[in-house]
Amino acid sequence: MNRQNLSVNFLAGMEIINKNKNIFSILLIIIFIFLCFFLINYPCTWRPCLPKEARPPSDIQSVKIAGKILKVELALTEKDQEQGLSGRDNLKEDEGMLFIFSYINKYSFWMKDMKFPLDIIWISDDYHVVYIKENAMPESYPESFSPDMDSKYVLEVNAGFSKKNNLKVGDLVYFLSP
């Protein structure tokens, strides 16, 4: 081979490499655009979809937890929180009481004046279950139950709910409003 043939072959090779670089660059741009579109339009597939922070607590009417939607009564005031479900005869299967506190803390609960057992579920400020007290019995009073981790919300439901619905620490909770 002479020098001229080598130069032509080299230039032809460079042209092929440049074409491949252009195709590769175009492919990368298409993949990037697709990923951006996917992540913007389907955010729940790559991260948890959390309830809107701006929603006032009094607007919450139900909670989605362990795949079930429960209608909730809210305990917003200190008086409502002290009373809780005490003195009531029962709670419907698809209902609960949601305690919404002003700040995060390790809130303790007891079964004073309760007439039926409960599952008590502590929920963090980022809406994840942090602790579950299953089957808290009325006879357990004056014993109190509290989590090892801070919470901002506590949900009381009928005893057996957590086990029946395979609820686990770390599960995400959704607050729903109209």
Greatest CA separation found in the chain? 102
Determine contact, residues 69/94, Cβ cutoff 8 Å: yes
102's CB contacts (< 8 A; 6+ apart) are: none
Task: Quick: pLDDT tens for 106-149.
Answer: 999 999 999 999 999 999 999 999 999 999 999 999 999 999 99
Q: Tell whether the model's pLDDT for residue 50 goes beyond 90.
A: no
Would you call 150 exposed, middle or buried from its count of C-beta atoms within 10 A (0-12, 13-18, 19+)?
middle
Report the SS3 class of residue 44: helix
Cis preceding-peptide flag for 142 (omega within 30 of 0): yes
Which pLDDT value is given to residue 41? 53
CATH architecture of 57-176: Sandwich (2.60)
